[in-house]
Amino acid sequence: MWPFKKKAKPATRTVPTSQISYSQLDITERFDDHMDLQPDDWIATEPLNKMTPNAPAQGLPSVDASEDEVYAAATQLSQFRESIAIPNDGVYCPVCHIANIDLAKLRQPCPKCSRPLLKFGWD
Ligand SMILES: [Zn+2]
């Protein structure tokens, strides 16, 4: 069981969503996927670079990037995402392609590969 503790919300800074192009490497298939999830539920995510033509030009890792390269790129994007307050963000592992709604898991080890979990947005 993971703790359900929620962190205090950081000061809010408003950033138009249109400026957040690719602040994560994966997405979920449907907008409301996370609505039914519990903090212990993990959902499969889809890697954006597999569905984006010319992914490297868009700031995404190439489709043949190694797991470590993918994770390094995702870490940079997560740091950006962590610098702004986005309601309802959760966490994900860009290597195992799984996500969780519980932001308290940020930087905790991925249940599969033990890499620290990164920040994930659902929409
Ligand atoms: Zn993982």
CA–centroid distance, 90 to ligand 1, in Å, is 15
CA–centroid distance, 53 to ligand 1, in Å, is 25
CA–centroid distance, 115 to ligand 1, in Å, is 6
- The backbone torsions φ and ψ at residue 103, rounded to the nearest 5 degrees and listed phi first, read -65, -15
pLDDT above 80 (res 75): yes
pLDDT above 70 (res 19): no
Distances (CA, A) of 34 to 8, 29, 53, 112, 116: 21, 10, 27, 20, 21
CA–centroid distance, 86 to ligand 1, in Å, is 23
CA–centroid distance, 42 to ligand 1, in Å, is 11
Q: By mean pLDDT, which of 20-24, 60-64, 89-93 is the weakest? A: 20-24
What pTM did the predictor assign?
0.79
- Going by pLDDT thresholds of 50, 70 and 90, the confidence category of residue 15 is very low
Q: Where are the domains of the chain?
A: 22-120
Task: Give pLDDT tens digits for 30-62.
Answer: 766 677 889 999 999 999 999 888 888 888 999
- Going by pLDDT thresholds of 50, 70 and 90, the confidence category of residue 24 is very high
CA–centroid distance, 71 to ligand 1, in Å, is 9
- Going by pLDDT thresholds of 50, 70 and 90, the confidence category of residue 21 is low
Determine the average pLDDT of the residues in 89-114: 97
CA–centroid distance, 99 to ligand 1, in Å, is 10
Question: Concatenated DSSP letters for the chain?
Answer: ------PPPPPP----GGG---SSSEE-SSTTGGGG--TT--EE-EEGGGTSTTGGGGTPPPTT--HHHHHHHHHHHHHHHHTS--TT-EEEETTTTEEES-GGGTTSBPTTT-PBPEEE---
Amino acid at 26: D
- What is the C-alpha to C-alpha distance for residues 62 and 49, in angstroms, rounded to an integer? 7
